[in-house]
Amino acid sequence: MPRAKFQTLTEQMFYILLCLRHECYGMDILDQVPNMTGNRVSVGSGTLYNLLEQFLEEGMIRETKVEGRRRSYILTERGREMLDREYERIRAQAEDYRKYS
């Protein structure tokens, strides 16, 4: 049975949405994600722009500026709720690990 779209987030999805708590351009996200994660997670430009388009379609982010090819985005309330749910899911997993390891 396939996973429902955005039921859970990949690491790349999580960090893209985390970056978009504050308005930024796509190119900013490409720089921010590796910096946030100590280079543990990176996002390729193809993946980034594909996910940004999907997030836009789902109403998780919105475009704030268009300057030629440069576009900036910010998280919507729906996106913030998804990010918060994913954080709680990850936190619960970590707590389970602590309990049972």
Annotated domain spans of the chain? 11-100
Strand order in the sheet with 70-75: 24-25, 70-75, 61-67
Collect all residues with Cβ–Cβ distance below 8 Å to 1 and sequence separation of at least 6.
Answer: none
Over residues 24-38, the pLDDT tens digits come to 999 999 999 999 999
| Structure confidence at residue 4 (pLDDT) | 67
What 8-state DSSP symbol labels residue 8? S
Q: Which class is 11-100 in CATH?
A: mainly alpha
26-36 vs 45-57: helix crossing angle, rounded to 10: 110
Burial class of 42 by CB neighbour count within 10 A (0 to 12, 13 to 18, 19+): middle
Over residues 2-26, the pLDDT tens digits come to 556 778 999 999 999 999 999 999 9
